[in-house]
Every structure is written in C-alpha cells, then in structure tokens.
Amino acid sequence: DGGITQSPKYLFRKEGQNVTLSCEQNLNHDAMYWYRQDPGQGLRLIYYSQIVNDFQKGDIAEGYSVSREKKESFPLTVTSAQKNPTAFYLCASSPGQGSTDTQYFGPGTRLTVL
Amino acid sequence: AQSVTQLDSQVPVFEEAPVELRCNYSSSVSVYLFWYVQYPNQGLQLLLKYLSGSTLVKGINGFEAEFNKSQTSFHLRKPSVHISDTAEYFCAVFPSGTYKYIFGTGTRLKVLA
C-alpha cells in the first residue's frame, strides 16, 4: 500500500539535544511538508519542499532544519535552538506544486522534551 | 494576508442529530477550500474539497460542505452523526498562487450516545 510513514511514533528528548524525525513516502509525490500541531492552534507550517534538493522555510522554521536528498524522504531535525519543541509533528506530501493538490498526511510523531 | 476562522472549538451533539461545523476565511486572492478530519493521535484525512463548479460539495462519511463566496464561508454539515464521527475537524484554504495551506484552529466534534 502506498502512503506516508513517520517514525518514531513517540520521541523523548532531553533539553539541549538535537533529534531527527523521519518521514518517508512511496506515493511518488514531488512536494513534502512538515507541520507542527499544538492544542488549540491548528497546524503551522515549518518547512516545505517542492522538489528534490530544494526546500523553503514555512511560518515557524526557527530552531528546525530539513534536507531533501531523495524524493521519498524529508527528515526534520529539531535542534536545541527550538525553545519549546514539545508538540505533535505531522509530515505530508502532495503530487506536485499545484494548489488544487490534496495533501496526504502521515500518522505523526509526538515529541516530548524532558 | 489570508486567515481561516473556526469559531467553535468544541461541538457536542447527540448521536443521529444533525451537525454544522463553521468555517470562515479571509483572502485577497481566490482560494481552494478543504476540510480534513483527524482522529486521536493520527494524521489528517481529507473529507472533501472545493476547487470550482457546484458550491455544494459531497465528501466521505456522509459529510458535505457549501461554499458561500459572498459570506466567505465553507461550513461542513452532516444530517445524522454517529459515535464514530467523534474527531477533530480542520478547515483549510489554499490561496491561489501560493504553495501552502492555511489551517483553522480546528473544531472538536464530540458525539454523545
């Protein structure tokens, strides 16, 4: 079955540590996205990539970094510079760059900073 | 700037009753409109979308939404809800000429037995 996988499902981090969240898709989609979800705030865009080897900052990119070396993979690193990283992180992909494209979401990773 | 407003953060409703979840948006350009559903600890799943044409859009699980351009609204409705509809619902717009969705803050629908 085609889809988006995110791992791990739950992640615990000590303050001052960097962690990397995995996102893989086998839908052959060009575009991929990372969102952060906090209670009562909806989804906020962290980074997005429209094509391999290219990505752009979203609305809340500070303290995060990404790479897009392969079409199917878009890992997100939460750095120690992110002041409040505890949240639910969602990865999504869409077929292309068109605004009519549906975004397909992964199951999410819940990050907790101890 | 574009924005999406979901005024109701929580909506309790009894099983088999009708429900309407409200969504209003603000945009200086044309938009495409979406409703997504999120079950606990899961990702989002598309319910329906409006791109063009008929303003009444039918989606999965018996949901429908009506685009009202003059009122800049895209309210979601279901004539008879089930316990399994308990979830969080997000309205989103995709402004023409951009590459990103703008999401509302979500409405938590709780269906009571």
Question: Whole-angstrom Cα distance, residue A108 to residue A37?
Answer: 10
Does residue A99 surpass a pLDDT of 80?
Answer: no
Question: Whole-angstrom Cα distance, residue A112 to residue A77?
Answer: 14
Does residue A100 surpass a pLDDT of 80?
Answer: no
CA angle (A77 as vertex; A76, A80 as ends), nearest 5: 150
**What mean pLDDT value characterizes chain B?**
93
Amino acid at A85: P
Question: Whole-angstrom Cα distance, residue A103 to residue A32?
Answer: 9
Q: Tens digits of per-residue pLDDT, A20-65? A: 999 999 999 999 999 999 988 889 999 999 999 999 999 999 999 9
B100·A97 Cβ contact <8 A: no
Does residue A103 surpass a pLDDT of 70?
Answer: yes
Name which of A7, A99, A110 to mutate to probe chain B: the one with the most chain B Cβ atoms within 10 A of its Cβ. A99
Q: Among residues of chain A, what percentage have pLDDT more than 90?
A: 76
A50·B99 Cβ contact <8 A: yes
Q: Tens digits of per-residue pLDDT, B10-63? A: 999 999 999 999 999 998 888 899 999 999 888 999 999 998 888 999 999 999
Write the residue in A48, A100, A105 that is nearest to B100 by C-beta. Answer: A48
Q: Per-residue confidence at B96, pLDDT binned at 50, 70, 90?
A: confident
Q: Among residues of chain A, what percentage have pLDDT more than 70?
A: 95
Comparing C-alpha atoms, which of B21, B1, B4 is closest to residue B13?
Answer: B21
Residues of B in contact with A33 (CB under 8 A): 100
Write the residue in B32, B41, B105 that is nearest to A100 by C-beta. Answer: B32
**pLDDT for position A97:** 64
**pLDDT for position A71:** 96
**pLDDT for position B59:** 95
Q: Per-residue confidence at A1, pLDDT binned at 50, 70, 90?
A: low
Q: Which residues of A42-79 are buried (b: 16+ CB within 10 A; e: fewer)?
A: bbbbbbbbbeeeebeebeebeebbbebeebbebbbebe
Higher-scoring residue by pLDDT: A69, A95 = A69
B98·A99 Cβ contact <8 A: yes
By three-state DSSP, how is residue A64 classified?
strand
A108·B103 Cβ contact <8 A: no
What residues are paired with A32 via a beta bridge?
A: A49, A93
What residues are paired with B45 via a beta bridge?
A: B37
Q: Per-residue confidence at A98, pLDDT binned at 50, 70, 90?
A: low
Task: Give yes or no for a contact between A20 and A39, defined as CB atoms under 8 angstroms apart.
Answer: no
Average pLDDT, integer, range A2-17 = 90
**pLDDT for position B38:** 95
CA angle (B72 as vertex; B66, B77 as ends), nearest 5: 30
